[in-house]
Chain A
Amino acid sequence: MTIISVRNLTTQFSTDEGEVRAVNDLSFDLSRGETLCIVGESGCGKSVMAMSIMRLIGRPGRIVSGEVLFGSGGSSVDLLKLDESDMRKIRGKKIAMIFQEPMTSLNPVYTIGNQIGEALSLHENIRGATLRRRVIQMLDMVGMPAPERRADEYPHQLSGGMRQRAMIAMALSCTPDILIADEPTTALDVTIQAQILDLMRKLQSELGMSMILVTHDLGIVAEMADRVHVMYAGRFVEKGNTEEIFGSAMHPYTQGLLRSIPPLKKAPPDSRLPTIPGMIPSLIDMPAGCAFADRCEKVHNDCRGRDVPDDPCGVGRLVRCFYASQK
């Protein structure tokens, strides 16, 4: 059952050099209880996409077109058409978000307990001792050691892992239907990352949430995702379930990404790491045609100048490449 359906979402930023289309005609569906991973490198627009769904895009950015249909069947609403006060009832309550850097997204002058309680008192109108009990319960649920004491501490008194736990507690306090996690473990060490991913998986199955996980780490994708959407220069270039993406990636960009991770077993000495030459193109005045063409080893003359449809090779899923193949 689809819980959120994004249709042709496009977000632009006005700059001195022109309009930058950070998110370009994105469409996807998310089912209840599912984890969708959005993968891409820095600057591909994955965070802007997450912020657009939450309607947190501020000037000079604006959502120029598209729909974000939240809810199922006839009762769905287009989040982009809601007025701000209705959006506030959804943001944090129905759809919550975890950001990459817990230190910059927590307010340094309020205690952790205070910040977790804010959403609860706003959305569920609880106060006083009940509120405090709920806050401590949330901290306990995310595995915060000594939750009673930590609730009265400030962000700077917590370690990176504990801050991210506090962020998760805050996001989950109103048991949202959808959790959007934007690089939730990028700022953490691997052993702490393993704890947080484990926690997210556990809480997701307990609470039956859907999750949109934005990451650049294909290792995390392999562990967490049901489905994967690969993003490049503001567009999806390949969609598939986890087995399809890791087992039979069809887009040259996906294949390049997968190849450029060093394997965790010793390669023969002096073996070279495959790379993707060049860099992400400037999003200003993107020419028609495949945005990956300049870096693609399989590029043909006709890749440029004409728009690439969703599935030109008839793969049966979105693979935006005229010459998609497994090799």
Chain B
Amino acid sequence: MERTLVEIKNLKKSFPIRGGFFGREIGRVHAVRGISLCIKRGEVLGLVGESGCGKSTLGMLMLRLIDSDSGKIIFDGTDITAVSQPKLRRLRQRMQIVFQDPYASLNPRMKAGEIIAEPLVIHKMGDRAERRKRVLDLISKVGLPESAYSKYPHEFSGGQRQRIGIARAIAMNPDFVIADEPVSALDVSIRGEILNLLSDLRSSLSLTYLFISHDLKVVEHVSDRVAVMYLGRIMELFPAESISQASHPYTRALISAVPVPDPAIKRERILLEGDVPSPINPPTGCPFHPRCPHSRDICKTEEPALREYLPGRTGACHFIDEFK
């Protein structure tokens, strides 16, 4: 249980912005700016952050769906940033992704059975009859009726489509699944079903998840540990059960911004001023300092390092000890 499955070390990625007549590079979007994380085998690590903070880019980097600029991604002992394509392909069988939008991530011209079988075909698993058997097995694992096999994506509801996406992701018996906003496009009453399914599969297939979402309530519900991301950096990392003791000013503001479905609770809300700064030109010092209610001089010049401020809890803030 305590063994590390995925470890990333100082991962960085920026994207060029091209403009002008010749498409010259006129700037760079710094999406992921030096992130180190460890995911233990069997764990669910939640990654939460606002749009544009780089959380999806981080997910794509971890599967090498895009290449990083620098840093290491160690999957079960192998640095996947350094392996050859054929080897990467073999490793990829063990890591899969579920995407946010179940409408956009399924090919409308393929039947559900073909969509789920595709990874099996690509990795040349079994013959036609074996694949069909495996697909039917997967269909029942994700709670779809057998008739789903020969239907097209448009014939399914949003929740059912997400089940197809999940069946495709677990087809290769992966160890590690990245779920990138898997329930954000779904209605509230459907979300629970998908979250329950993910947690069932976690125990029956002993999966490890990176669960990416902007929704703190969802992340907290499914995760063992939660990492809070802001402008390409991890701001705080803590066990999900102690979310209420989160100390970083950004995490606190994020928690207080979530509307609570209980009219009796009148909370003091920490209202953040302004918008998330642009990742093209991230602020110097602490990335959060322009919006932080506790910002002091040092925050403008020196970027705080992520450090353990309490056992099992790390935070990147110069004054985090004052807030705990």
Report yes or no: A198 in contact with B269, Cβ–Cβ below 8 A.
yes
B263: Cβ under 8 A from any A Cβ: yes
Report yes or no: B196 in contact with A273, Cβ–Cβ below 8 A.
yes
A203: Cβ under 8 A from any B Cβ: no
Report yes or no: B221 in contact with A273, Cβ–Cβ below 8 A.
yes
B127: Cβ under 8 A from any A Cβ: no
Q: Which of A1-9, A173-181, A205-213, A255-263 contacts B (4 or more CB under 8 A)?
A: A255-263
Nearest CB on A from B50, distance (A):
4
Fill in one digit per residue for B253-264: 1 if any A CB lies within 8 Å of its CB, else 0.
Answer: 111111111111
Report yes or no: B214 in contact with A279, Cβ–Cβ below 8 A.
no
Q: Which of A99-107, A124-132, A188-196 contacts B (4 or more CB under 8 A)?
A: A188-196
Report yes or no: B216 in contact with A190, Cβ–Cβ below 8 A.
yes
- Contact residue among B50, B187, B216, B275 (Cβ-Cβ distance under 8 Å from A42): B187
Q: Could you say which residues of chain A place their CB within 8 Å of the CB of B269?
A: 194, 198
Across the interface, name the chain B residue whose C-beta is closest to A273: B192
Contact flag A266-B240 (CB < 8 Å), given A221-B261, A274-B192: yes
Q: Which of B199, B261, B272 has the most CB of A within 10 A?
A: B261
Report yes or no: B275 in contact with A276, Cβ–Cβ below 8 A.
no
Q: Could you say which residues of chain B place their CB within 8 Å of the CB of A265?
A: 243-244
Contact flag A260-B192 (CB < 8 Å), given A162-B275, A194-B271, A279-B159: yes
Within 8 A of A (CB), among B245-277: 253-265, 269, 271-272, 274-276
Report yes or no: A194 in contact with B257, Cβ–Cβ below 8 A.
yes
Across the interface, name the chain A residue whose C-beta is closest to B221: A262
Report yes or no: A275 in contact with B193, Cβ–Cβ below 8 A.
yes
Q: Could you say which residues of chain A place their CB within 8 Å of the CB of B259?
A: 193-194, 197, 217, 219-220, 222-223
Report yes or no: B257 in contact with A190, Cβ–Cβ below 8 A.
yes
Q: Could you say which residues of chain A place their CB within 8 Å of the CB of B243?
A: 264-266
Nearest CB on A from B203, distance (A):
8
B190: Cβ under 8 A from any A Cβ: yes
Fill in one digit per residue for A266-310: 1 if any B CB lies within 8 Å of its CB, else 0.
Answer: 110010111111010000000000000000000000000000000
B69: Cβ under 8 A from any A Cβ: no
Q: Which of A42, A145, A194 has the most CB of B within 10 A?
A: A194
Report yes or no: B50 in contact with A189, Cβ–Cβ below 8 A.
yes
Contact flag A264-B216 (CB < 8 Å), given A194-B271, A275-B193: yes
Across the interface, name the chain A residue whose C-beta is closest to B275: A159
Q: How long is the Cα–Cα vector from A197 to B269 in the complex, in angstroms?
A: 12
Fill in one digit per residue for B222-259: 1 if any A CB lies within 8 Å of its CB, else 0.
Answer: 00000000000000000011111000000001111111
Q: Could you say which residues of chain A place their CB within 8 Å of the CB of B218?
A: 262
Binding site for A on B (CB under 8 A): 50-51, 157, 159, 187-193, 195-196, 199, 203, 214, 216-218, 220-221, 240-244, 253-265, 269, 271-272, 274-276
Binding site for B on A (CB under 8 A): 41-42, 145, 159-162, 189-195, 197-198, 216-223, 225, 242-243, 246-247, 256-258, 260-267, 270, 272-277, 279
